[in-house]
Structure 1
Amino acid sequence: MATSEKKTLYTAEAQAVGGRSGHVRSTTGVIDLDMSVPEGLGGKRGATNPEELFAAGYASCFQQALLVIAQRAGDRLDPDTSVNCSVSLFQEGEAYGLSAVLDVDLKKFDDNKTVEMVRQAHQICPYSVGTRGNMEVELRVKGQPLPVQAEENIGVAQNGK
């Protein structure tokens, strides 16, 4: 099996001060936000939280992966295509963890083609690759769960790639 050389394409930087009740700022200044524990857990209104930021990033990144998959197949996504991502924070014993649900609506493709495109996007999306084997990610198409194959959740280090 041929190996490819890893090439850094971009590095984002941000600083957090004060944890969940603090502030985050990216070095570009585009992100400059107050942070809070989620309002439902006693936090303040008008501030964001790590789970919300993660959900926004994952949804955006996954949609870009879908655009790449469509382009490779000579297709175009409908402009109203959507990816909704929900990220849940949970506690298990003394540890905390995250899980995510990605719900995709490609609008113009039939369900079989959509399912295949979602599976392919899950293989190349940097968030999916980074979380694989580390957190539960559920894939859905128009609200319907996709059965996830065991090998789709094996981390990179575990499958030798």
Structure 2
Amino acid sequence: MKVLYTAHGHATGGGREGSAQTDDKVLDLKLTTPKALGGAGNPGTNPEQLFAVGYSACFLGAMRFVGNRDKIPVPADAKVEAAVGIGPRDDGEGFGITVALTVTLPGLDRDRAEDLVRRADIVCPYSHATRGNIQKTLTVA
């Protein structure tokens, strides 16, 4: 694979209780543990929220790529919502995540929207990286 771009970021502190930054400081975030995971629920974000927005943006970009390539009009107000869950794995060896993507494509008929989502799932790097590793559902709203 020919790498076209490399993002750089780091986390410091206690992992889920620390901070995270990109090398260019565009993102400079306080990390906190949600109450559901035993944290105090203080203001801040967590890896699951970051994964959710990253996957949403990447999948939306994949739909636009496929739409341009395959002449499928992607509405300007298209939206991808991601729900990222975390919990203990069934094998008892750590934690795993789940992802549910809900795609809204106003004005696109259901068959065409579902076809676009299916094709985008093949193209999206996040989908490719996680394929077979996590429970994932795709829904066209």
TM-score in terms of structure 2 length:
0.92
> Which residue of 6, 12, 15 corresponds with 1:11?
6
Q: 1:26 aligns with which of 17, 22, 27?
A: 22
Shift of 1:77: 1.5
Give the aligned partner of residue 122 of structure 2: 123
The aligned counterpart of 2:83 is 86
Structure 1 residue ranges (4+ consecutive) displaced by more than 4 angstroms after TM superposition: none
Deviation track 1:69-91 (CA, whole Å, cap 9, x = no partner) reads 11112233211111000100011
AA aligned opposite 1:129? H
Counting aligned pairs with the same residue, the percent is: 38
Runs (5+) with no aligned partner, structure 2: none
Alignment RMSD (CA, Å): 1.2
The answer as to 2:99 corresponding to 1:100 is yes
- The corresponding residue for 1:49 is 46
Higher relative contact order (CA 8 A, sep 6+): 2
1:47 Cα deviation (Å)?
0.2
The answer for unaligned runs of 5 or more in structure 1 is 1-5, 143-161
**Superimposed CA distance per residue, residues 110-151 of structure 1 (whole angstroms, 9 cap, x where no aligned partner):** 111111110000001000000011111111111xxxxxxxxx
- 2:135 corresponds to: 136
**Distance in 2 of aligned mates of 1:121 and 1:88:** 22
Q: Secondary structure at the match of 1:8?
A: coil
- Whether 2:32 is the aligned partner of 1:36: answer yes
Whole-Å Cα distance in 2 between the matches of residues 134 and 97 of structure 1?
A: 9
